[in-house]
Structure 1
C-alpha cells in the first residue's frame, strides 16, 4: 500500500499490536492447561466463544433456548433427549415476555399466578405450536389453622402436569409463598429460585454444545504430523447454520495431549457456574451456562470417549455388551445379538470397572489387568497411564519387600516359617503394598491433590479427569448412549465401502470398464453430488473417499447386472441404497413410522450381508453399529445433523494455521491465531464487544459490519452463506444473447396445444436458465420435478401433484418480479406398482405437456433411464476437451433406445423425505428380507459353528508354520554368517 502511495499506512508492528489489542478487548485469550498426565496445551474455551454468539447478530437471531414439541423433527431441541430426558435443572430456567414486559422474569419451581387468578408452579419451559408454553403443576389455596396461627397452605395436584401458554402468567406470587407453605412430594419448589439471586435482574439461558475430537495431520504433505484437535458446535442453532464452516468453533490442539486430556480442560465450562455476556437482541447483559449434549466422532474416537476397548476387542461395542469370543459369536444367542442391541453399558458400571483395573494394577500382575479389561471390554486411556506406573512400582516394591533376600521382610527369611503360614505372610505383604499404592495413586497428580487438600476433602477417592475419563462423570452426559452413529465413517466409509469392495474385487479390466462407462452415463441432476469421475473411481477403487461412496450409494444399483455381481450382492446394493436414503433425511414428520421403516432397512442390510457372507458381521464392527441408529435418531434427530463432515472440512483451516505456526509452541500459536480469526469474524459480522478503555459495549462502523454481507470472497473464506441468496419461486434469465424473446406460441414451438395456449397471452417472453422450486432447488430444463397442476384428474381443491420433466421456463419481457415465471413441463405418470428388478416406481410418459407457475413447482428429484428393460446399447461420442481444446479421442456412452420409461430413483439422498411424503405408502414402505429373522440367524450360526473352528485351526497352523519357517531362516542365516567369518555380535 505504501508503494502505491496510500497515505497513513501503519507499520507491520503497529498492525499486529492493534490486532492483539482488539482480540484482548473482545475477550479471547487461550488458557494454559496441564493435564493429569503432565502434558501442556492451550485452549480457547467454549464459554468465551459462546459469549460471542450472543453478541453476534448473524448468530443470535437463530438461537433456540427451549425444547420444542413438534410433529416434524429436524433439530436437536425437537428430539427425545432434549424434550424428554434432560434434567429440569439443565434447561433454561427463566422466561420473559420480551415484547410486553421484558423485566418480569418467571423462573421454574417458583410459585406464579396466572391471568385467571389460579396459582401454578412452572417446572419446564417448552415451545409448542410455535409459542413458548410452561409445563406446570397447579396449586390449590386453603386457609388452615396451624398452632393457633393462620397460614396459607398451597397444595399441589396429584402429580398432574398441565401445559399453559407462558404469556398467561401474570406475576410471580412470591409474597404468597413467603407467608405460607408449599407441599409436594417429588419436587422441591423454591421461594426464590437460586439463580434469580445470581442473575441480579439479568436474563439467564442454558445452551448445549457438541464437542468433536479427532487426530488430524498438521501437514499438508503426505508426511503425517499427528495433532489431536477439538472443535465444537452450538446445538441451539439450526442445522442449516451448523452445516456452514462459519459456525464451527476451534477449541484446542496438541501434538501431545490426548482427547480425554483436552476433554478434562473442556469440562471446566460444564460446571454449574454462570457466565455473563452481552445479548445484541435484548440489548442487555445476560447470564448463561453451557452443557454437553452429544459426542459425534469416528468410531475409534468414540470408543476412547466411552473408555471401551474398541472394534478389535472381544467385547467391542461402546454402547451395549454384545460381542464375545469367536466361539461365543457363533452360538445362536451370540450371533443374533450382533444384529440388534443387548444390555446397554452405563457410566457407573464403566467407572466401577476402571477402578477395579487400577486396584488390580497395584498387585503388579499385568495379566490380571489385561484379563479384567478383556472380560469387561473397558479400557480407559487416562487410567492406562496410572496402571503402567502402578505395575512398575508394585513389582519394584514387591521385589524389595517380598522376593529380594537382602531386603525382604524378616519373616520370609525365617526358615522355620514354611508352607501355608509363609504363603499367608507373603499374601499379606502383597496386600499391604497394594493398599499403599492405591493410596499413593489417589494423591496423584500431586499439584491437583494439593488443591483438594486445601478444600479439606474428608475422603479423597479416584477422581474423574485425574485418574479416569472425565466424560463418565459429566452431568447430563452418558458417553455410551450419547456417541451416535456417524454416517460419514460408519455408512460411507463403512457399509458402502464394504459392499463396493465385495463387488469389484472379482472384476477384470473389461468388467471395470463396463461399469465405468455405464456410471459415467448416469444422470446426476437432482442428486447434489459432484461431477462423476467414473474412470477414476474404478481405477483407484480401493482409495475412494466419502464423496465417491455417496455417489455409488445412489447410482451403482442402476449400472449393475449379472455380468458385474451376483443376485445376492445385487439385493444387498438395493437394501444399502434404501438405508442411505432414509438416513440422510433432513427432517422427520412421522417419527414412529420413520423409526419402524429405518429398523426394517437396517435389518435388511444386515440380513443381506448374512446371505452374501455370514462371517462379515463377526469381524466388521461398523455393521453392528447400524442397529443402534434408530435409537440415535429418536434421541438426537435426523442423522445429518450430527454428521461430522463440516468438522472434517474445517481441518483445512487448522492445517494452514499449523503450517504457518512457529512449530515451537504449536498449541499456543495455533490457538492464538484462530482466536484472532474469531475476533475478526465477530467484528465484520457486526458483533458487539466491550473495550477495557471505555467499559461500554460497542460495535464496528457500518462499513465494517456490512463488509461480510457485501463481499462474496470474504463469505467464502469464512464459510458463511447468505440465507436470502435463493428465493423459492424466483427464476434466473438467460444471458441477453440467449433469451430468444418471442411470443408465447413461438416460445412453446411443438409443445403448443389447447392446454398450454391458456397461458402467456398479451406479452413477449424471455427464456430462463432455471427456476427455484418451493423446496429451494435449482430446476433447469431437463430436471425432474413434482409439481401441482390444475388438471381434469385433480382432487377437490383443483390441484393434483404430478411428476414431470421441465422443458423450459419463461419470464415476461420487462418483468417487474422474477416470481412471475411459467414453466413448461412434460408429464410422466408414476406407476402403481414397483418395478420388480429395482423395487422402485416407474415413470411412464403420459403424452401431455402442462404449464406450471413457479410457486407450484414443489421439489426436484432424480430419475434414471430404465436401460435394463430397454437394453440400451453403447455408442462412441467425442471425448472430453483437453487444455480447453477439442480432442480427437472418443469415449463410450449409453445410448437410450427410447425416452418413455424411467426409474424414480428411491436411493437418491436429495429430497428423499419429500419423495416419500408425496408417493403412496405402498410404493415407499420397505419390505423385510426375512419373515423370521431369528430362525435365519440360527441357520447362519449353525453353519458358522461347522466352518469357524476349522478356519481358526487352519489360521493357527499357518501362524505356527510361519514362526517355524522364520526361526529356521534365522538359524540358517547365522550359520552362513559364521561360515563366512562375519561378526554376528
Structure 2
C-alpha cells in the first residue's frame, strides 16, 4: 500500500497527456467524485481510497485530491459567486455567463445549437420556429450580424444591397433563416438631398444575405465616391409612409451597431435560455426543508435534445432566500452579459465568439410562476396570471346558454343540452376538488373559516361562464404602475387597508416589494402623535429603502422585453398530468366499490404495453395509492383510463375522460406541421374537454387549472410545442439537489450545493 504524492509541477500541468490533471489516477478519482447527478460524499470517497490501498493500488489522500480539485476549479471550472440580497439573505449562484461560454465550447452541445430564428411552414418543432424568437426578442439581443464575402453586416446599419438587379440602400433590422439560407428583414432608406438619410421602418422587405454587397464600414469610407449621403448621418425614421419623422434613437449613427465595436471582428451570436424555478425539499425524510432553486437550459436546442439531462444547468438554490431575491443576482449577471457580451470559444468555427444571453421564458409550476409574475396567486379573486378573469365574488349573473354556445365554437361535434345539477353528486365532487392553494409565502397558520353562504345555481352558472373565457390580458406596464400605487398607499398613514384592497382588486402581489412594505407597517405600529408627524417619520424611513425600480421585483429588470404575464407559459406537467388526470383518477377511484376496483386492476394488468413504450403497469399501485401517484404514473393513467373505466363510472364522467384522453396527445405533439390547423384543433379539443366536464359537474371549476389551460394555444403559438417548456427534465434535478443538501454540513447549503454542481460541470 502506498500513497501518491504530486509535486508542484504535477499540479501545474507538466503531465501533458492528462492535463489539466496531474495523472490518470487524479483524473479518474476527480471524475468519480463529481459525476453529475451521482454525487459521492467525502465519506464515500474515503472508502474508495481505502479500497485502493487494500488492493495495493496507488491512491492519493483526500487532502491531496482536494488540492487538485481546488486548483482545477480555479483554472477551468465554474466560479461560485456570493450575494447578499436586498432582503438581507446571503445566497450563492454559479456564474451563468461562464456556463453559457462552456456550452458554446462543448462540441457535444455546439453542433445542436441555433442562434437565428427560422421561418418555415411545416415541421415546426423548435422555439426558433415561433414568433417570440422571430419577432419579439429585442433587436439588440437577437443575433446582430451575418457574414458574407468577408464582410460583417450588422442590423441597424446602412448597407448596399442588390435588389431586382439594381443596387439600393437598406437597413437590416433582424436576421433569420428560411429554406436553409440566411435572410434579413430590411427597412428602406431615403436620401434627403445628400444631407443624410431617413429610415423608412414601414417599408419592410426580406433580402437574402448573398444580396448584401457593401457593409457599413466600407460605405463610411466610400460614400463620396459613390455619390450618396454620408451613411453616418441618419436624420430620423418614419413609421408610416406619410407619417412624421421621429428622431433616430436605436443606435449612435456615427458608430453603428454597438456590437461591432465590442466584437472586434469576431462573430456575435444570440444565446436565449429557458429559465426555471421551483422548490424542493433538502431532506431525505418526509420533513419539508424547502429549497428554492433556479436552473436553465439553452433554448436553441432542437426538441429531441431540449430535455436531455445533459443540457440542464444549475444556477442557485437557497433554503432562506426567496426566489425573487435570488433572481436579483441572476438578473444582474444576465444584464451584465447583455451589456458586455460573453466571450466564448466557438469549437465549430475554431475561433473566439461573442454571445448575447437572454431569457426566452420563465418556467415553473403555477404558484411559482404567479410569484415571479407578481401575481396574487391561484387563491385570489383574479386568480389568473395571464388575464383578468374573476373568481367567485364577481357580480355578473349570466345565462348558461351562452356558455354552451361559446364552447361549441370549433368543437368537433354538437353537445347535448346542459343537464340539471345533481346536488349530491356536485357536493361530493366539490369536496374532492377543492380550490388550489395560493401562492408561495402565504402563512401556514390555519384561520378559522367563516361559514360561507351556499352558492346558488345562478351564481355558479355565472362563475362558470366567466371561468371558461380568456379575459383582458394583463399588461406589464400597468402591473408595474399598479405596484407603485400599492407601495405609495402602503407608505401613507391611514392607507394600509387601501393598499391591500388595491392588491386584491388588481390581482397583484410583489413578494419582493412586500418585504419593504411590511417593514414600513411594522415601523408605523410604533409611531405616536399626529398624522403629519407620523407621516414625516415614515417618509424618512422610505428614503433609506432602495430607490425606484430597485424596490420592485427583479423580474422587471431583466432587459430583454420579458413579459412575466405572457412569458410564463402553461406548464403541462402540473396543469394536465398533476391536474386534470390526477383529479379525475382520484375521483374515479373514490367512486368505485372494492369489487369494481378489482375489475380495474384486472383490466390494467391485461393491458398490452408494448405499443406504449412503458414497462408493465403497476395496477395495484395505481388503484390502491391513487392519491399518492406522481407524474409518470399519470402518464400511464391518461393513456389507459378510458379503456379500463368503461362501464364503471357514470356516462358523463366517462365522456369527460374520453375528451381528456383525446386532448392529451394533441398537447404533447413534438412537431407541428400546420400551425393554424393545429391551434384550431387544440382549441376545439380544449373546448370539448371543458364542455364535457361542465356536463359532468361544473363544480370542477373551483380548480383554476381548468381556466389556465385556455391560455395554452396562445403560448404554443409564441413559444413552440408545449413539450419544449414542459418541466420534467428540471423536476428530475430535485434528486441531485437533495443529495448535495444531505451531504453538506448544513451550515451554508446554498454555497455547498452550488459548489458541488460547479465542480460536476
Q: Normalising by structure 2, what TM-score?
A: 0.78
State the 1:443 CA deviation: 2.7
State the 1:37 CA deviation: 0.7
Q: 1:251 to 1:595 in 2, by over 3 A?
A: same
Trace 1:244-643 onto structure 2 (pairs within 5 A): 244-271=308-335, 272-326=339-393, 328=395, 331-332=398-399, 334-362=463-491, 363=493, 366-397=496-527, 400-402=528-530, 426=531, 429=532, 433-434=534-535, 436-438=537-539, 440-444=541-545, 461-464=547-550, 467-475=551-559, 476-562=561-647, 564-617=648-701, 619-643=702-726
- Equivalent position to 2:153, from 99, 103, 106: 106
CA contact (8 A) 1:269 1:290 kept: no
The yes-or-no answer on 1:30 pairing with 2:116 is no
Secondary structure of 1:657's partner? helix
State the 1:141 CA deviation: 6.4
Q: Deviations over 1:611-630 (max 9, x none)?
A: 1111221x101111011011
Cα distance in 1 for partners of 2:218, 2:645 equals 76
Q: Deviations over 1:495-536 (max 9, x none)?
A: 111221232221110011111111221122222334311111
State the 1:439 CA deviation: 5.2
CA contact (8 A) 1:361 1:369 kept: yes
State the 1:650 CA deviation: 1.4
Q: What residue in structure 1 maps to residue 300 of structure 2?
A: 236
CA contact (8 A) 1:218 1:227 kept: yes
State the 1:139 CA deviation: 4.3
Secondary structure of 2:549's partner? coil
Trace 1:83-162 onto structure 2 (pairs within 5 A): 83-97=134-148, 101=150, 104-114=151-161, 117-139=167-189, 144=193, 151=194, 154=197, 159-162=202-205
Q: Deviations over 1:840-887 (max 9, x none)?
A: xxxxxxxxxxxxxxxxxxxxxxxxxxxxxxxxxxxxxxxxxxxxxxxx
CA contact (8 A) 2:464 2:698 kept: no
Secondary structure of 1:401's partner? coil
Trace 1:676-687 onto structure 2 (pairs within 5 A): 676-678=759-761
CA contact (8 A) 1:63 1:236 kept: yes
Cα distance in 2 for partners of 1:163, 1:177 equals 24
Q: What residue in structure 2 maps to residue 5 of structure 1?
A: 56
Cα distance in 1 for partners of 2:69, 2:689 equals 55
CA contact (8 A) 1:41 1:253 kept: yes
Of Structure 1 and Structure 2, the greater strand share is in: 1
Unaligned runs of 5+ in 2: 1-51, 224-229, 240-247, 400-461
CA contact (8 A) 1:364 1:390 kept: no
Q: 1:479 to 1:156 in 2, by over 3 A?
A: closer
Cα distance in 1 for partners of 2:613, 2:216 equals 56
State the 1:310 CA deviation: 0.9
Q: 1:356 to 1:17 in 2, by over 3 A?
A: same
CA contact (8 A) 1:560 1:570 kept: yes
Q: 1:226 to 1:177 in 2, by over 3 A?
A: same
CA contact (8 A) 1:207 1:290 kept: yes
Unaligned runs of 5+ in 1: 145-150, 403-425, 446-460, 679-985
CA contact (8 A) 2:391 2:467 kept: no
CA contact (8 A) 2:392 2:463 kept: no
Q: 1:438 to 1:511 in 2, by over 3 A?
A: farther
Cα distance in 2 for partners of 1:438, 1:297 equals 37
Q: Deviations over 1:632-667 (max 9, x none)?
A: 110111001100000111111111111111211111
Secondary structure of 1:532's partner? coil
Give the structure with higher Rg (CA): 1
State the 1:372 CA deviation: 2.2
The yes-or-no answer on 1:75 pairing with 2:126 is yes
The yes-or-no answer on 1:210 pairing with 2:274 is yes
Cα distance in 2 for partners of 1:139, 1:394 equals 60
The yes-or-no answer on 1:648 pairing with 2:731 is yes
Q: After alignment, is 9-18 or 546-555 more displaced?
A: 9-18
Cα distance in 1 for partners of 2:397, 2:309 equals 45
Cα distance in 1 for partners of 2:330, 2:82 equals 12
Q: 1:505 to 1:438 in 2, by over 3 A?
A: farther
Cα distance in 2 for partners of 1:268, 1:158 equals 32
Cα distance in 1 for partners of 2:649, 2:356 equals 55
- Equivalent position to 1:201, from 245, 248, 265: 265
CA contact (8 A) 1:43 1:671 kept: yes
Indicate the structure whose relative CO is greater, using CA pairs within 8 Å and at least 6 residues apart.
Answer: 2
Q: What residue in structure 1 maps to residue 245 of structure 2?
A: none
Q: 1:434 to 1:330 in 2, by over 3 A?
A: farther
Q: What residue in structure 1 maps to residue 451 of structure 2?
A: none
Q: Deviations over 1:431-473 (max 9, x none)?
A: x64465245334325xxxxxxxxxxxxxxx4324xx2211134
CA contact (8 A) 2:201 2:238 kept: no
The yes-or-no answer on 1:164 pairing with 2:293 is no
State the 1:122 CA deviation: 1.2
CA contact (8 A) 1:306 1:472 kept: no
Cα distance in 2 for partners of 1:330, 1:442 equals 47
CA contact (8 A) 2:89 2:321 kept: yes
State the 1:370 CA deviation: 2.7
Cα distance in 2 for partners of 1:643, 1:671 equals 24
Cα distance in 2 for partners of 1:622, 1:273 equals 41
Q: Normalising by structure 1, what TM-score?
A: 0.60
Secondary structure of 2:186's partner? strand
Q: What residue in structure 2 maps to residue 49 of structure 1?
A: 99
State the 1:668 CA deviation: 0.9
CA contact (8 A) 1:244 1:646 kept: yes
Cα-Cα RMSD: 2.1
CA contact (8 A) 2:570 2:715 kept: yes
State the 1:282 CA deviation: 1.7
Cα distance in 2 for partners of 1:351, 1:622 equals 25
Cα distance in 2 for partners of 1:441, 1:156 equals 45
Cα distance in 1 for partners of 2:258, 2:111 equals 28
CA contact (8 A) 1:20 1:676 kept: no
Cα distance in 1 for partners of 2:557, 2:750 equals 26
Q: Deviations over 1:125-161 (max 9, x none)?
A: 101012211122344668x4xxxxxx47556567322
Q: What residue in structure 2 maps to residue 769 of structure 1?
A: none
Count how many residue pairs are aligned between Structure 1 and Structure 2: 618
State the 1:185 CA deviation: 2.0
State the 1:361 CA deviation: 2.2
Cα distance in 2 for partners of 1:327, 1:112 equals 57
Q: Deviations over 1:281-339 (max 9, x none)?
A: 12222212211111110011011011111111111111111124435376556532211
Cα distance in 1 for partners of 2:734, 2:591 equals 36
CA contact (8 A) 1:112 1:174 kept: no
